[in-house]
């Protein structure tokens, strides 16, 4: 029996009546005190979503996109104020990108075989309620991107956001539910708890109603999710090297690399974190970066002070992550004009500011004796994350050799890293790049189960 609009509305009403019993302490939609209640509410919402037509799902998604664009500045400011990381102007662009280029229901497709023995389809069905863990580096961007893809796939989602970005995350999740309700969908398509902790995360990971977990963050969280016994999508850390060979347009490479590296103060996991350049072009590259691209060349003494400031015995100094170059230099007593946007220096690949994934506009340049040496150094620096890498070269054989050796989910050629997100490059946007588990750039179809539907000896009408 086809599901009519009226039937859907009746189910929505019945489920909502049931949900009114649940207290939402903040007065915001989708926000609960207890993780178990958040999961229960998302489960009820998924019962509604699964009977809605694709067209109705798309209406919810269109409204999430519209509200994201309307609130791009608010979300960008909240993220920067709450976490202390990033750049408001760049974050506005990131929110527009999420709204405009994250795939929706068009990503949910059917494969069909029709022949003498009938008709067989592979269809993409929802998992149900997905558990999602999100980072503080792109808090609202990741929540919006995950929610659009997961809802397009017919799922609802429970988030355990980074505690340092909880206000921004709550604002975003409330906005997603308002968008759903306005578009005739259910409340609680996205849920979370007021105070996310490792305990709430553990409840989510073990819960019987969570069949899939998508983790976006550093190595710790991806390992935790992959040890949970559930299916996990692991979008982990990177340390993307930008390789420059002698065939590149060196002046353009300098501009592209610094633009990518400084975007949102280097917070994106795909952003250039270090350069490996062949010996013959290092000096020219450095010249353009310093004279034309607002880079500050740090002395040995300044590099040592930066190491002592940004890296602590417990790991990265969170007060430095996502800060701009002027602020970082100010922390070591160096005053620079406002046009300085990146810190550069030449060093060995083992230099802590080069080998570590810093998420700050600090770019060490490693000198390689030739292309093969450059590839070897870049592969070492990527640490087997298989996440992202970049190359500036006009030699197709070199590009191919590098691509095969580094084997990353993303490889950008002759452009800033953000071209990989569809910003100045072709293709769709995502903020969850499943480097570790191999799905690559996630989209709605990643969050679905494949189902084979077989009609034997009928419905082939050729």
User: SS in 3 state form for the chain?
Assistant: CCCCHHHHHHHHHHHHHHHCCCCCCCCCCCEECCHHHHHHHHHHHHHHHHHCCHHHHHHHHHHHHHHHHHCHHHHHHHHHHHHCCCCHHHHHHHHHHHHHHCCCHHHCCCEEEEECCEEEEEEEEECCEEEEECCCCCHHHHHHHHHHHHHHCCCEEEEECCHHHHHHHHHHHHHHHHHHHHCCCCCCCEEEECCCCHHHHHHHHHCCCCCEEEEECCHHHHHHHHCCCCEEEEECCCCCEEEECCCCCHHHHHHHHHHHHHHHHHCCCCCCCEEEEEHHHHHHHHHHHHHHCCEEECCHHHHHHHHHHHEECCEECCCCCCCCHHHHHHHCCCCCCCCCCEEEEECCCCCHHHHCCCCCCEEEEEEECCHHHHHHHHHHHHCCCCCEEEEECCCHHHHHHHHHHHCCCEEEECCCHHHHHCCCCCCCCCCCEECCCCCEECCHHHHEEEEEEEEECCCCCC
**361 near ligand NAD, rule: CB under 6 A:** no
Instruction: Please list every residue from 406 through 435 that binds ligand NAD, using CB under 6 A.
Output: 431-433, 435
**135 near ligand NAD, rule: CB under 6 A:** yes
* Residue of 31, 224, 363, 429 interacting with ligand NAD (CB under 6 A): 224
Minimum Å distance from CB 149 to ligand NAD?
13
Binding segment toward ligand NAD, per CB under 6 A, in 27-35, 46-54, 215-223, 256-264:
215-223
**203 near ligand NAD, rule: CB under 6 A:** no
**185 near ligand NAD, rule: CB under 6 A:** no
**200 near ligand NAD, rule: CB under 6 A:** no
Among residues 86 and 161, whose Cβ is nearest to ligand NAD?
161
Binding segment toward ligand NAD, per CB under 6 A, in 51-59, 171-179, 216-224, 414-422:
216-224
Binding segment toward ligand NAD, per CB under 6 A, in 45-53, 56-64, 90-98, 235-243:
235-243
Binding mask 265-294 for ligand NAD (x = CB under 6 A): ----x-------------------------
Minimum Å distance from CB 190 to ligand NAD?
15
**261 near ligand NAD, rule: CB under 6 A:** no
Binding mask 140-169 for ligand NAD (x = CB under 6 A): ---------------------xx-------
**102 near ligand NAD, rule: CB under 6 A:** no
Minimum Å distance from CB 103 to ligand NAD?
16
**355 near ligand NAD, rule: CB under 6 A:** no
* Residue of 89, 220, 330, 384 interacting with ligand NAD (CB under 6 A): 220
Binding site for ligand NAD (CB under 6 A): 133-138, 161-162, 198, 201, 216-218, 220-221, 224, 235-238, 269, 357, 431-433, 435
């Amino acid at each position: 029996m086809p599901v009519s609009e009226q039937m859907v509305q009746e189910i929505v009403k019945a489920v909502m009546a049931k949900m009114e019993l649940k207290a939402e302490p903040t007065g915001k939609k989708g926000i609960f005190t207890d993780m178990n209640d958040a999961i229960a509410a998302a489960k009820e919402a998924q019962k509604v979503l699964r009977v809605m037509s694709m067209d109705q799902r798309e209406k919810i998604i269109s409204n999430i996109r519209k509200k994201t664009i309307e609130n791009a500045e608010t979300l960008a400011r909240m993220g920067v104020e709450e976490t202390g990381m990033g750049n408001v102007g760049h974050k506005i662009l990131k929110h527009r990108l999420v709204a405009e280029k994250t795939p929706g229901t068009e990503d949910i497709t059917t494969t069909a075989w029709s022949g003498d023995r009938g008709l067989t389809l592979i269809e993409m069905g929802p998992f149900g309620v997905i558990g999602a863990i999100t980072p503080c580096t792109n808090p609202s961007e990741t929540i919006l991107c995950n929610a659009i893809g997961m809802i397009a796939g017919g799922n609802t989602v429970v988030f355990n956001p980074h505690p340092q970005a909880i206000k921004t995350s709550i604002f975003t999740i409330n906005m997603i539910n308002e968008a759903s309700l306005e578009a005739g969908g259910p409340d609680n398509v996205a849920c979370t708890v007021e105070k996310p902790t490792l305990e709430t995360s553990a409840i989510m990971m073990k819960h019987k109603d969570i069949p899939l977990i998508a983790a976006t963050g550093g190595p710790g969280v991806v390992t935790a999710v992959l040890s949970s016994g559930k299916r996990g999508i692991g979008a982990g850390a990177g340390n993307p090297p930008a390789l420059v060979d002698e065939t590149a347009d060196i002046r353009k490479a300098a501009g592209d690399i610094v633009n990518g590296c400084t975007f949102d103060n280097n917070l994106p996991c795909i952003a250039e974190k270090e350069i490996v350049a062949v010996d013959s072009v290092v000096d020219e590259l450095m010249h353009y970066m310093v004279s034309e691209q607002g880079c500050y060349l740090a002395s040995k003494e300044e590099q040592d002070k930066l190491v002592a400031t940004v890296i602590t015995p417990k790991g990265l100094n969170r007060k430095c992550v996502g800060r701009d170059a002027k602020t970082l230099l100010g922390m070591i007593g160096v005053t620079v004009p406002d046009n300085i946007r990146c810190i550069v220096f030449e060093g060995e690949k083992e230099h802590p500011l080069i080998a570590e994934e810093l998420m700050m506009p600090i770019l060490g340049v490693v000198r390689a004796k030739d292309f093969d040496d450059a590839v070897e150094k870049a592969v070492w620096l990527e640490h087997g994350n298989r996440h992202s890498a970049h190359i500036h070269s006009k030699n197709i054989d070199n590009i191919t050799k590098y691509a095969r050796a580094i084997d990353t989910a993303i490889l950008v050629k002759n452009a800033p890293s953000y071209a990989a997100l569809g910003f100045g490059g072709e293709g769709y946007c995502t903020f969850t790049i499943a480097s570790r588990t191999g799905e690559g750039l996630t989209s709605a179809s990643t969050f679905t189960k494949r189902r084979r539907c077989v009609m034997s000896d009928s419905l082939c009408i050729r």
